Amino acid sequence: MNKKTRIAVTGATGRMGQELIKEIEKNHNTCLTAALIKKDHKLIKQDVGEVIGIGKIGVIISDELNIQKNDFDVLIDFTRPNGTFKYLEYCHKFKKNIVIGTTGFSKEEYNIIEKYSKNISIVLSSNFSIGINLLFKLIKKTSEIIGKNSDINIIEYHHRNKIDAPSGTALEIGNVISKVMQWDLNKHSIYYKKGITGIRKQEKIGFSIIRAGDIVGKHTVMFSSDGEEIKITHTAFNRASFAKGAIKSAIWVHEKQNGLFNMMDVLSS
């Protein structure tokens, strides 16, 4: 593929949106063609480059997609489920592929995403960091070796403004472990609360959640047994790693016809 992948970014003036736009502008294989924000926002009609501090780039902020004015190959969305579905329906209608980094979908919403993937290509991942996807592999191997003899806990840390808990990444870690252990994650999870909790039950995954400051993201998985403990931790110090992974996914999915993929599919190609 010689031509650049044309990308539309939603939530363009948010923290993740700004990081995506900066990385798109740096990447020789991509160009930004649409910068989208919520309806009636005060920054509409301004040059997005000037707004986020990288200088004029000729892309005007808008609150609506127009296939004639803002044509694109792939849309990248890191917003919230209701916003994601608005853009997903648009992509489905106009046969455009989409990269989704939003988390907190219900089972019913996930089923709709799966249905739409019959007609367009979708990369859906709880985390686009290469490091986190390596962590998934390490967790899988560790679970295979010592999972049956360990108390397993997942501790996740995020900024105060994150609205879903546990994080999508923490739940994905839980899913990785559950598949190895042949557990149902919903039935084998513990969410600690105040009070007399009783002794630690076996064959359970404990989740602990911290929301504080501007923590970008940190996930620690503990395998604790009598006499020793293994901790595997990934820390994101900024959002650049997520943005780079999402852009890599957009380039990868550009010419795919249809299907539902994740970041591991992108990295394995």
What amino acid positions are annotated as catalytic residues?
Answer: 158, 162
- Distance (Å, rounded) from C-alpha 239 to C-alpha 101? 12
Q: Degrees (nearest 5) of the Cα angle 163, 168, 173? A: 145
Residue 152's identity, in one-letter code, is: I
Q: Is 168 annotated as a binding residue?
A: yes
Residues 25, 53: contact at Cβ < 8 Å?
A: no
Q: Is 102 annotated as a binding residue?
A: yes
H helix or E strand, kind and range, residue 16:
helix 15-26
| 3-state secondary structure (DSSP) of residue 25 | helix
- Distance (Å, rounded) from C-alpha 172 to C-alpha 11? 24
Residue 9's closest CA among 25, 42, 33?
33
Residues 215, 157: contact at Cβ < 8 Å?
A: yes
Q: Is 227 annotated as a binding residue?
A: no
Q: Degrees (nearest 5) of the Cα angle 173, 177, 178? A: 115
Q: Is 33 annotated as a binding residue?
A: no
Q: Is 84 annotated as a binding residue?
A: no
CB atoms within 10 A of CB 73: 20
Tokens of 102: 């939003």
Q: Is 208 annotated as a binding residue?
A: no
Q: Is 17 annotated as a binding residue?
A: no
Q: Is 259 annotated as a binding residue?
A: no
Residues 169, 218: contact at Cβ < 8 Å?
A: no
Q: Is 79 annotated as a binding residue?
A: no
Residues 13, 52: contact at Cβ < 8 Å?
A: yes
Residues 96, 73: contact at Cβ < 8 Å?
A: yes
- Distance (Å, rounded) from C-alpha 11 to C-alpha 36? 6
Query: What residues form the annotated binding site for (S)-2,3,4,5-tetrahydrodipicolinate?
Result: 159, 168-169
Query: What residues form the annotated binding site?
Result: 11-16, 39, 101-103, 125-128, 159, 168-169
Query: What residues form the annotated binding site for NADP(+)?
Result: 39
Query: What residues form the annotated binding site for NAD(+)?
Result: 11-16, 101-103, 125-128
